[in-house]
Amino acid sequence: MMAGRIPKVVVLGPVYVDMAMRCSRFPGPGQTTEGSGFACIPTGAGALSAVQAAVCGCQVHLLGKVGNDVFGTMACESLVRYGVNTDFVYKAPAISTGIIMTLVDESGENSSCVSQGANRALSHDEVGCALAEQLIGSADACLICSGIDPAVAAMAIRVGQLNRTRVIVETPVHLDDAGHLKPLEWPKEFFLADVLVPSVVGTVLRSESSPGTVSEMKYVGTELVAAGFACVVVKMGVRGTLVVDRDGPIRVVGPEHRPVDGTARDEAFAGALTAAISAQDPPVRAAKFASAAAALACRRFGSLDALPKKEEIIELLQAEPD
């Protein structure tokens, strides 16, 4: 990332509270099992990506929604401690904060139940109001996370484009059984995004290192650029990252790593990518920075505490051979 003034980032995304507990075994119907090690922490694509951008040295504002309850208050207070501004995390008066309830057994397997709660209540008007428009318009970059209503995302993209804020959009893309892209049923504003980060659903991954899957991802990225996107960044896990634009694909090989926990991998990547883009790094350089952040996040257990600081990312990149 470039040195100089502090970049400003807006993250539009969901906020959850994860209530996790360890147990000896998962309870069956009507059963109760002994639990231990209870933890209650903020999570969700919006919250984690915002924290990652903040620990990368950016001035970060989170735009989202929680319930007017103890969980929403706890989530916002925790995010503030990590350096995230939560002035635009709205509070829904009659809907609870989004909750994820997770059980982890002795073998490390987990089972979860998710309630979207207030996340589904974030409205077009709340993102399109004058103050929110001013916030997005004054930012260097705006990350729109998966899980945001397409109409709400479209409003944020329009505001970003009008104000020359660089917009990064995360969204699922679906492949059919033959490995071809299914029709892209998105608002037209999505195609105005500066960078698309697709989560590919439906591809058959033969192995983590299979060159065939790299070819599949090149096809996906190329087809998305042909559909109208200016730049597509495709994550491939330990196989690296593809940056695809109208000049073709460039493969960015990430640092070697053995994942121990991938819980925060995607959010570390998205937050670090946005931080680098907000600092005017070109897409390939930003993808390399983001890949290093994701690799570091995978080396640690947990979510919030697994997110690496900018200095750690730079140190890892400097240790890598050219």
Q: Is the pLDDT of residue 234 over 80?
A: yes
Map residue 120 onto helix, strand or coil: helix
Map residue 55 onto helix, strand or coil: helix
Per-residue pLDDT of 268-313, as tens digits, reads: 999 999 999 999 999 999 999 999 999 999 888 778 989 999 999 9
112 is a domain residue: yes
80 is a domain residue: yes
Map residue 300 onto helix, strand or coil: coil
* Residue in 314, 309, 299 with CA at minimum distance from that of residue 57: 309
246 is a domain residue: yes
Instruction: Return all residues near 170 (Cβ < 8 A) that are at least 6 apart.
Output: 45, 143, 144, 145, 146, 197, 198, 199, 270
Per-residue pLDDT of 174-212, as tens digits, reads: 988 877 888 899 999 999 999 999 998 875 554 454 444
pTM: 0.93
DSSP assignment of 190-234: GGG-SEEEEEEES-----TT-HHHHHHHHHHHHHHHHTT-SEEEE
Which band of pLDDT confidence, cut at 50, 70 and 90, is reported for residue 258? Answer: confident
Q: What is the mean pLDDT of residues 222-229?
A: 95
100 is a domain residue: yes
The residue ranking higher by pLDDT, 216 or 151, is 151
317 is a domain residue: no
295/107 Cα distance (integer angstroms): 23
320 is a domain residue: no
180 is a domain residue: yes
Q: Is the pLDDT of residue 229 over 80?
A: yes
Question: Residue 168 is encoded by which pair of tokens?
Answer: 């990064």
CATH number for position 223: 3.40.1190.20
Question: Residue 190 is encoded by which pair of tokens?
Answer: 């999505």
Map residue 78 onto helix, strand or coil: helix
- Report in angstroms the alpha-carbon separations of 217 from 35, 210, 223, 237, 294: 42, 11, 10, 12, 18
Per-residue pLDDT of 64-122, as tens digits, reads: 999 999 999 999 999 999 999 999 999 999 999 999 998 888 877 788 899 999 999 99
Number of structural domains found in the chain: 1
DSSP one-letter code for 34: -
Q: What is the structure's pLDDT at 303?
A: 86
- What is the residue range of 296's domain? 8-25+35-310
User: Burial letters for 194-215: b for 16+ Cβ neighbours within 10 Å, e otherwise?
Assistant: bbbbbebeeeeeeeeeeeebbe
Count Cβ atoms below 10 Å from residue 59 Cβ, excluding itself: 18
Count Cβ atoms below 10 Å from residue 143 Cβ, excluding itself: 33
* Cβ–Cβ under 8 Å, residues 62 and 13: yes
Count Cβ atoms below 10 Å from residue 82 Cβ, excluding itself: 17
127 is a domain residue: yes
